[in-house]
Structure formats: C-alpha cells, structure tokens
Amino acid sequence: QQKVQQSPESLSVPEGGMASLNCTSSDRNFQYFWWYRQHSGEGPKALMSIFSDGDKKEGRFTAHLNKASLHVSLHIRDSQPSDSALYFCAARRHYGSSGNKLIFGIGTLLSVKP
Amino acid sequence: GALVYQYPRRTICKSGTSMRMECQAVGFQATSVAWYRQSPQKTFELIALSTVNSAIKYEQNFTQEKFPISHPNLSFSSMTVLNAYLEDRGLYLCGARGGAFSDYTFGSGTRLLVI
C-alpha cells in the first residue's frame, strides 16, 4: 500500500485562482513532509518542508500540517501558468537521521489556464 | 547553490544489455545519495539509498545484482542497470543531500528506453 496518498490526481484552476493539493501519510512513522514540484523534462525541486502543526507560508505558497491526522495540504494563491507542473508530496520517518528514506506520493498534475 | 547533474540525459539500449548512469553533486558534499525510478505513470520508486560510511540499502524489488551502485566520494555516484528489459524503462533520478538536516536536491534524470 502506498504510504503517502495524494489527491486530486489532477487539478485545473484559472490564472489568479487558488490551487489546493492534499496529502496524507498512512504510516505514523512518516511524519516529516516536503512538497516537490516537477516541470516537464526536469527533476523534482523542493518547494517547502513542514514538520510542525499549523501553517507555513512562503510567498504565494502555504503548507498546512495536521500531525494528528497526518494530513498536509499545499495552497497556491494567485496561481500562474508557470505553476503548471506535477506536485509531489514526500515524507520521511525522521528529520535528522542520515539513513532514512524519502517516500513520494503519486503526484497531482496542476494546470493553470491563462 | 546546490546542484545535481545527471548524465546521460537520455539513452536507448537493446534488451538484455546494460547501461551505466552517473550523478554529480556540485556545491555541496553528497553524504547521502538516493536513486529513484519514475515510471511512465509518473510514480516514484526508491531503488536504493547510499550513505557514506554505511552499506547501500536496496528497497524491496531492487537488488545490487541488477542495479549495482557506486558512491566512491562525496561528489559522485553511479548506477548501472544490468540486463535491461522493457520493465526497466523510465526516468532514473538521483537525489543527493549534504547532511542529515538537508533537503534532497535532484538531478534532471536519465531517461532509459529499452528496445
């Protein structure tokens, strides 16, 4: 079973709109989260990480984590066509341990229409 | 900044042959290197994680005999796909990080096509 579940699989929003992506870890051992973005033809790039309950804001991007439910979301306000990409949620078991692995969800394909 | 380069970007190999891909970390010391395969459906599979001073750990369904990995220093890693078949096709991604509290930086991948 996939340890990290994402929804929706695809999402289309108008330019200037709000995009909301969801992610849940089914394994309580994996509770440190990252959001990665992958444009076509490139590798994934880390957008932001979140480890504590509540919101974390970086520019137009806001991540929210609920540790009790192991649910994390990513909200993109004022979406731009350049935000169109695959977005992956990734989770790790520990933050500081050198040997632990990063597990990815299946991704959400975001399309921002001009 | 931290950059990871992978080469070749794209390669085609005949079924049953082998193919080696390389990963170079620039601007930081890659104490951990993770190799992933991204399927045509875009899902990520972790192949193995290599950390300095530790044995390389392979995930279930991946073996050293099929995907031997070398991590000889803090800036370079390579992986070979031995005896490649159709099910091995995909985008092979190298992610590296410079310490236990660093984020992984990924290269652009090596796309493997098997004919």
Per-residue pLDDT reduced to its tens digit, B26-46: 999 999 999 999 988 888 999
Q: Contact, B22 vs B108, CB < 8 A?
A: no
Q: Contact, A91 vs A63, CB < 8 A?
A: no
pLDDT higher for A29 or A85? A85
- A43 and B107 within 8 Å at the Cβ level: the answer is yes
Percent of chain B past pLDDT 70, that is, above it, reads: 99
Tell me the pLDDT band of A98, cut-offs 50, 70 and 90: low
Per the prediction, chain B carries an average pLDDT of 93
Read off the pLDDT of residues B1-17 as tens digits, 9 standing for 90 and up.
889 999 999 999 999 99
Alpha-carbon distance A12 to A21, whole Å? 11
pLDDT for res B69? 97
Percent of chain B past pLDDT 90, that is, above it, reads: 83
Does residue B30 sit in helix, strand or coil?
coil
- B43 and A107 within 8 Å at the Cβ level: the answer is yes
A101 CB neighbours in chain B (<8 A) are: 34, 46, 49, 57, 59
Q: Contact, A100 vs A93, CB < 8 A?
A: yes
Residues of chain A whose beta carbon is less than 8 angstroms from a beta carbon of chain B are 34, 36, 41-46, 49, 86, 88, 95-99, 101-104, 106-107
Q: Check CB contact of B93 with chain A, cutoff 8 Å.
A: yes
* List of residues 6+ apart from B18 with CB closer than 8 A: B80, B81, B82, B83, B84
